Amino acid sequence: MDRVVSLNRAAVPAAARYVVYWAQMNRRVESNHALAFAADLANQHGLPLLYYEGLTCSYPHASDRFHTFLLEGVPETARRLGKRGIGYVFHLRKRRFDPNDALYRLAQYAAAVVTDDYPTFVAHEYNRSVPAKLGIPYYACDSSCIVPMARLDKQEYAAYTIRPKIRRGLPEFLRPVPPILMRRRWAGP
């Protein structure tokens, strides 16, 4: 699949309780290829899906304005996920000295972590450093672009060179993301 890349070679543990989708950049329920991939993975293993969203104060350019925007979306995200049978965990790290280990604690019981493939901001750094710290599969999925970034053979710097490449990919990729149907609904708190 052009959208998904495995970032480690860990095996799925036999005693896994769920699959985790870590919403780093694409904090949406609909039209989210990464969330759909995580749901498919959970369905393949007969497990429920847990959507994890975290917010910390220690990343570059953190601001009250941006955090307010994210926090205001939490109840609606939880409602939409609940309707689909997907669990939801939101963790707010308020101070720099508070533990920053929520993802690692969730991963202890997970079959895999699926997150967003995003080339900039904090996701890029997390996707380089986190997979080696987990003993479970870690996947990054491009849900930010209609035509996946992996389809571009080199970094583009001008619109006139990237447009034809994107246009060639549109017939294949300009399709709605299929609705998420969970075989096993989340039953935990």
**Residue 125's pLDDT is what?**
86
Q: Is the dihedral of CA 100, 109, 8, 54 positive or negative?
A: negative
Return the closest-CA partner of residue 182 out of 13, 27, 46: 46
| pLDDT score recorded for residue 42 | 98
The phi, psi pair for 68, rounded to 5°, reads: -60, -45
Question: For 31-88, what is each residue's pLDDT tens digit?
Answer: 999 999 999 999 999 999 999 999 988 777 888 898 999 999 999 999 999 999 999 9
Strands of 87-92's sheet in order across: 4-6, 138-141, 110-116, 18-22, 49-55, 87-92
Q: Above pLDDT 70, what percent of the chain?
A: 99
- A 10 A CB-CB count for 36 gives 20
CATH code of domain 4-173:
3.40.50.620
Q: How confident is the model at residue 96 (pLDDT cuts 50, 70, 90)?
A: confident
What is the CB neighbour count within 10 angstroms for residue 121? 13
Please report the pLDDT score of residue 58 as a whole number. 79
Residue 172 CB-half CA count within 13 A: 12
Backbone conformation region of residue 121, classed left if phi is above 0, alpha if psi is from -120 to 50, else beta: left
Q: State the average pLDDT for the chain.
A: 93
